[in-house]
C-alpha cells in the first residue's frame, strides 16, 4: 500500500499549530464578506438571525440599554461564529489548492506536427494533440502514453516521492499534467481541454469553487427553513398574547427568543460539515468530483472489489511442483523451466526462479531455447510456451491444457486432475505443463502451483463492513474453485469467478435493482462502464483516462483497498451531520425553560415554576440563552471539521447512540451552560 508522504507541518505539532493559526487569520479576514447580507441570504436560517441582529441594533441605538447592547452584540457574534466555521473549513481547502498551483505553472509543450516538433505554450494544447516529453520536462497536460515508457515523478499530485512507471498500452498509460518525466522519452496524446485538466479540477474542488449542495444538504436545509418559519409564526403570535395578558414583550426579547429557538447550531455548521468531508477525502489522497459522491459512499450497501491487488497481494509466486506418475522429477522441472523461460510475466519469472533454486537448474535460456518460437499467452488459448525443433511445450490453465492434450489423443491422468482440483480448492492457481513429442503424441508432465497471499487484516476489515450492513463481493478472473477458496479465507460475502466486464456491469445493476447503493474500484478502460454505473466509482490514478472520466472519485495512491476508507468517510459525514442536527434540535428544550418564564413570569406568576434553573432575572435569562446559543457554535466547530468518531455498528445501534449521546446531551448541556453563564451575566450592571 502506498502511503502519502507527510509534510513537515503534519509531523511537527508546533508547525501544525502555526499552520492552523494562519488558517484562522485568513478566516477572520474573510468575515466581512461572509457576514454580508448577500452571503447570509444563501442560508435562510442564518439570514433570519442577521435580520434579527440588524433590528436589535436599530432598537439599541434608539432605545439604548446595557441589556439591549449585550443581546445585540451576541447576536452578531452568532453570525460571526457561523461565518468563521465556514471560512475556516474553506481555508483548509484553499491551503491545499495553493500547493497545487505550483504544479500548474505555465509550461511549454513539444507539439508533434507533420513538419516535426513545434514548441508552444501548454495552455494552447487542445484535446487530441500529440506531444513529446523528454527526461527532465514537465508533462504539459493530462493524456495517455501512446509510445514509449518512462519513470514519472508524481509527488506534486500524490505526495509520494517514489517515481512511477508510465508506458504505452495496458492500464498504466495515463499521465497527469504538471508531473515530471525523470527518464526516457514518451509520446502523449492529450485528453483534456485547456483549463479542464486534473490539477485544475482538483484546485476548483478543494477551494470549494465547484462545491454544490448535495441532495441530503438540500433536504436538511428545507427542513431547517420550515422549522424557522414555524418558529417565526409562533414568536410573532406571542406579541398579541402578551398584550392580552398585560405583558410587555419588547421586540428585543422576541428576536432573542426567535434566534434561540430556530436551529441555528446545525444551520451554522452545515456547510462546514460538507466541506470538511471533502477535505478528509483529500487528506486520504482521494479526489471526489462532487459532494454527492461522498454522501453516496456513506449509503453504500454493496462493495465490488477486485481480488488481485485488493484482497490479495496480486503477485502470484511458484510454490510447488507436482510431477505426473512415471515422469522423472528432474526432467519435469527442466521442461517446466523451458516452458516458462520466455514468459516475462511476474508469474513466469517466479516459476523459473523457483525451479532453478529448488532443482539446481540454469536460469539462462540455452541456444535452442533462444531460437525457439515463442507462443505468447492469449485469452483465447489461455496457454503459453515454446515450439522447439522437435518438441512443443505448453503451460496454462487446467482446462485449456487438458483440452490441448486430449484433442490429440493424449492421456489426462486422474491424479493430475485431482492435483489441479486440490490446488484450486486451496486457493492456489494450478498451471499444468504438457509436451508434444516429435511423433505428435502429447502428455502432461507436471502441475506448477502458484499461490497468491491474502493481505493481512482483510478478514477483520470485511467483518467490520459486515457490521455496517455492507455486503462485499470479490471479483476475479480465477476459476470458481480458486475464487471460492480465496473468498472463504478473506471473509467476503460473495464472489464472481471468471468475471468479464459484462459480468461486473450486470451484477451492479442487479444490486441496484434491489435498492442497494453500489461501490467499486477499477483502473482499466474495460472497467469504465461499471465505474459509471456504480453509485460510487473509484478509479486508480495509475489507470486509463477512460476509467478516471467514468468514475466519480480518483484515488491518487492507486490503492484499491482505499474504497473501504472512502465508505468510512462517507458514513462519518452522514453521522456527523445527523449528530449535530439532533444536538441542535434538542437544545431548544432548555431554552423554553430559560426564556418563556422570563417573558411571562411577571404577569403569570405560576410560570415561575418552569424556571427550573433559577435564573436571576428575565434579562439575565434571555442574555444567557443568547450567549450560550453563540458559544455552542464555537464549541462544535472542531467536531464539525474533524467529524464524529465512527465505529462499525448496525443502523439501530447507531440510532440509539445518536439519541443517547447527542439527543440526551443536547438536552442536558444547555441547562448546565445557561445556568453557568447566568452566574456571570448577573454580575453585569443593568441586567
Check if the beta carbon of residue 295 is closer than 8 Å to that of residue 436. no
CA distance 433 to 323: 10
Active-site annotation holds for 306 = yes
180 Cβ contact list (under 8 Å, min separation 6): 136, 137, 138, 139, 152, 153, 156
CA distance 430 to 321: 10
The three grid cell numbers given for residue 177, joined into one nine-digit string: 499534467
CA distance 69 to 636: 26
The three grid cell numbers given for residue 620, joined into one nine-digit string: 439575565
> How far from chain centre, in Å, is Cα 616?
51
CA dist 226 → 235, 331, 354 (Å) = 14, 83, 71
Q: Which of 466, 477, 544, 470 is closest to 504 using CA atoms? A: 477
245 Cβ contact list (under 8 Å, min separation 6): 600, 603, 604
565 Cβ contact list (under 8 Å, min separation 6): 284, 286
Q: Which of 382, 373, 384 is closest to 351 using CA atoms? A: 384
The three grid cell numbers given for residue 7, joined into one nine-digit string: 509534510
Active-site residue identified among 142, 153, 200, 306? 306
CA distance 268 to 85: 8
Helix axes 215-245, 264-283, angle to 10 degrees: 160
- DSSP for 396-438 reads E-HHHHHHHHHTTT----HHHHHHHHHHHHTTEEEEEEEEE-T
Q: In what order do the strands lie in the sheet with 373-375?
A: 317-323, 442-451, 428-436, 392-396, 383-387, 373-375
- Matching residue, cell 451492479: 508
Q: Which of 436, 510, 440, 441 is closest to 473 using CA atoms? A: 510
First-to-last CA distance in the chain?
62
Give the residue numbers annotated as catalytic, written as ranges.
306
Amino acid at each position: 500500500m502506498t502511503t502519502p508522504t507527510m509534510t513537515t507541518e503534519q509531523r511537527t505539532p508546533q508547525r501544525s499549530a502555526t499552520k492552523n493559526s494562519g488558517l484562522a487569520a485568513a478566516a477572520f479576514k474573510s468575515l466581512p464578506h461572509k457576514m454580508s447580507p448577500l452571503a447570509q441570504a444563501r442560508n435562510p436560517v442564518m439570514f433570519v438571525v442577521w435580520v434579527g441582529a440588524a433590528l436589535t441594533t436599530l432598537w439599541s441605538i434608539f432605545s439604548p440599554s446595557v441589556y439591549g447592547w449585550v443581546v445585540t452584540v451576541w447576536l452578531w457574534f452568532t453570525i460571526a461564529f457561523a461565518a468563521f466555521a465556514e471560512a475556516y473549513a474553506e481555508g483548509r481547502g484553499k491551503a491545499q489548492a495553493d500547493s497545487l498551483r505550483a504544479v500548474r505553472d505555465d509550461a511549454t509543450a513539444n507539439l508533434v506536427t507533420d513538419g516535426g516538433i513545434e514548441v508552444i505554450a501548454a495552455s494552447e494544447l487542445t484535446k487530441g494533440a500529440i506531444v513529446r516529453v523528454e527526461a527532465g520536462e514537465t508533462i504539459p497536460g493530462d493524456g495517455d502514453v501512446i509510445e514509449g515508457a518512462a519513470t514519472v515523478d508524481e509527488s506534486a499530485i500524490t505526495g509520494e516521492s517514489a517515481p512511477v512507471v508510465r508506458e504505452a498500452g495496458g492500464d498504466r498509460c495515463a499521465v497527469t499534467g504538471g508531473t515530471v518525466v525523470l527518464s526516457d522519452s514518451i509520446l502523449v496524446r492529450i485528453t483534456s481541454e485547456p483549463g479542464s485538466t486534473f490539477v485544475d479540477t482538483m484546485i476548483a474542488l478543494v477551494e470549494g469553487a465547484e462545491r454544490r449542495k448535495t441532495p441530503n444538504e438540500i433536504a436538511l436545509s428545507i427542513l431547517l427553513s420550515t422549522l424557522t418559519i414555524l418558529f417565526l409564526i409562533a414568536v410573532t403570535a406571542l406579541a398579541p398574547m402578551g398584550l392580552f395578558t398585560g405583558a410587555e414583550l419588547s421586540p428585543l426579547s422576541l428576536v432573542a427568543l426567535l434566534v434561540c429557538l430556530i436551529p441555528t447550531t446545525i444551520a451554522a455548521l452545515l456547510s462546514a460539515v460538507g466541506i470538511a468531508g471533502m477535505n478528509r477525502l483529500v487528506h486520504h489522497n482521494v479526489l471526489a468530483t462532487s459532494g454527492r459522491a461522498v454522501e453516496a459512499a456513506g449509503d453504500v450497501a454493496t462493495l465490488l472489489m477486485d481480488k488481485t491487488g485488493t484482497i490479495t497481494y496480486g503477485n502470484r509466486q511458484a510454490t510447488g511442483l507436482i510431477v505426473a506418475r512415471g515422469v522423472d522429477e528432474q526432467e519435469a522441472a527442466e521442461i517446466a523451466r523451458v516452458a516458462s523461460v520466455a514468459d516475462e510475466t511476474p508469474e513466469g519469472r517466479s516459476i523459473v526462479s523457483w525451479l532453478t533454486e529448488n532443482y539446481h537448474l540454469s536460469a539462462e535460456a540455452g541456444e535452442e531455447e533462444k531460437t525457439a518460437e515463442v507462443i505468447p499467452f492469449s485469452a483465447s488459448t489461455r496457454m503459453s510456451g515454446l515450439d522447439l525443433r522437435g518438441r512443443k511445450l505448453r503451460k496454462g490453465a487446467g482446462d485449456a491444457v487438458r483440452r490441448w492434450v486430449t484433442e490429440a489423443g493424449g492421456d489426462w491422468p486422474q491424479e493430475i486432475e485431482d492435483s489441479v482440483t486440490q490446488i484450486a480448492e486451496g486457493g492456489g492457481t494450478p498451471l499444468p505443463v504438457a509436451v508434444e513429442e516429435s511423433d505428435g503424441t502429447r502428455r502432461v508432465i507436471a502441475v506448477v502451483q502458484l499461490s497468491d497471499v491474502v493481505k493481512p487484516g482483510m478478514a477483520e476489515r470485511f467483518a467490520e463492513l459486515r457490521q455496517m450492513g455492507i455486503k462485499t463481493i470479490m471479483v476475479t478472473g480465477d476459476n470458481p474453485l480458486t475464487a471460492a477458496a480465496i473468498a472463504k479465507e478473506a471473509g467476503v460475502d460473495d464472489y464472481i469467478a471468471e468475471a468479464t466486464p459484462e459480468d461486473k456491469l450486470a451484477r451492479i445493476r442487479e444490486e441496484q435493482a434491489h435498492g442497494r447503493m453500489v461501490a467499486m474500484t477499477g483502473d482499466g478502460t474495460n472497467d469504465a462502464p461499471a465505474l459509471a454505473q456504480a453509485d460510487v466509482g473509484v478509479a486508480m490514478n495509475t489507470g486509463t483516462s477512460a476509467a478516471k472520466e467514468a468514475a466519480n472519485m480518483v484515488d491518487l495512491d492507486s490503492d484499491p483497498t482505499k474504497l473501504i476508507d472512502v465508505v468510512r468517510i462517507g458514513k462519518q459525514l452522514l453521522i456527523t451531520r445527523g449528530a449535530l442536527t439532533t444536538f441542535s434540535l434538542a437544545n431548544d428544550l432548555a431554552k423554553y425553560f430559560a426564556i418563556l418564564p422570563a417573558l411571562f413570569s411577571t404577569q403569570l406568576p405560576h410560570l415561575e415554576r418552569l424556571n427550573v434553573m433559577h435564573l436571576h432575572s428575565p434579562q439575565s435569562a434571555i442574555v444567557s440563552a443568547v450567549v450560550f446559543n453563540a458559544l455552542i457554535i464555537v464549541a462544535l466547530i472542531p467536531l464539525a471539521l474533524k467529524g464524529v468518531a465512527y465505529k462499525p455498528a448496525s443502523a439501530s445501534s447507531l440510532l440509539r447512540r445518536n439519541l443517547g449521546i447527542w439527543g440526551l446531551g443536547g438536552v442536558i448541556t444547555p441547562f448546565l451552560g445557561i445556568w453557568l453563564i447566568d452566574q456571570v451575566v448577573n454580575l453585569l450592571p443593568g441586567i
